[in-house]
Amino acid sequence: MKIIYFSWLKETLGTSEENVRPPANIKNIDNLIKWLSAKSTKHRKVFLKSKSIRCAINHQIVNKSSKIKNKDEIAFFPPFTGG
Amino acid sequence: MIKVQKQKINISEENKKLLKKKIGAVVNFIGVARPKNSSGKIHYIEIEHYPGMTEKKIKEIEVYVTKKWKLNNCIIIHRYGKIKPGENIVYVGTAAQHRNNAFKACEFIIDYLKVKAPFWKIEQQKNKKIFVKSKKKDEKKIKINY
């Protein structure tokens, strides 16, 4: 599973993407956030602000109860500031 | 037509494409990088985007507004990368039979780009980097979810 980070999340983590293999009991975005938070102190720092973090699965905006699959590309980012 | 690009937008060239067609009204919105914010001078802004998803989201809005406001033509260009104060950031051009539709479509597109397209701005000041936060009033303007 490919995880991509943008904006301050990328800056805090020091990386823009990572490939992960979560265990079978990680079934949705909320589970994934909890699992990723335990990976490192940097991950924990990022996901402490999970209420202000948005998520997309394969380029589609989703909510935190959305189901995930092994081949998904999952992106985490703050609200958009284009224009 | 949509474009996500690093280089400056050639506004007169884009307008020529809109004016080619026999239409009654052309409306432009051009977003420009500001030289300062409430906390001081901005040296440059940096725009990051999510390649693949960005184009998809902008295409969706192009299709939506073209149908809703019966546009003859629509051009949406958004830049990414480093942008200096005074440079253009975004260009929206709408062409329609009547001005009302061209105005409404243009306003809708730029409101949409602010909160629904995956772009993130950083303002670089002398000694600090500011991750620009989205504004609640901008988020409330767009109620459509794609």
Taking residues B19-23, report their average pLDDT: 79
Taking residues A67-80, report their average pLDDT: 96
What confidence tens digit (pLDDT) does each residue in A13-49 have? 999 999 999 999 999 999 999 999 999 999 999 999 8
To probe the interface with A, which of B37, B53, B128 has the most A CB atoms within 10 Å?
A: B53
Torsion of Cα atoms, B128 then B132 then B133 then B139, to 10°? 170
Instruction: Between B126 and B26, name the one with better pLDDT.
Output: B26
Q: Six-digit token pair at B99? A: 């001005």
Scan residues 27-46 of A and list those with Cβ closer than 8 Å to B: none
What confidence tens digit (pLDDT) does each residue in A47-58 have? 998 889 999 999
ipTM for the whole complex: 0.93
Helix ranges, B69-117 (H): 99-116
Domain A2-77 bears CATH identifier 3.40.50.720: no
pLDDT of residue B23: 87
CB neighbourhood size of B26 (10 A): 18
What confidence tens digit (pLDDT) does each residue in B127-136 have? 899 999 887 7
What confidence tens digit (pLDDT) does each residue in B73-117 have? 999 999 999 999 999 999 999 999 999 999 999 999 999 999 999
Taking residues B36-56, report their average pLDDT: 94
CB of B130 less than 8 A from some CB of A: no
Domains, chain B: 2-141 (3.90.1170.40)
Q: How far is A45 from chain B (nearest CA, A)?
A: 16
Q: Do A80 and B133 touch (CB under 8 A)?
A: no
CB neighbourhood size of B101 (10 A): 21
Mean pLDDT of chain A: 96
Q: Do B120 and A59 touch (CB under 8 A)?
A: no
CB of A62 less than 8 A from some CB of B: no
CA distance linking residue B30 with residue B87, whole number of Å: 10
Domain ranges of chain A: 2-77
pLDDT of residue B146: 42
CB of A4 less than 8 A from some CB of B: yes
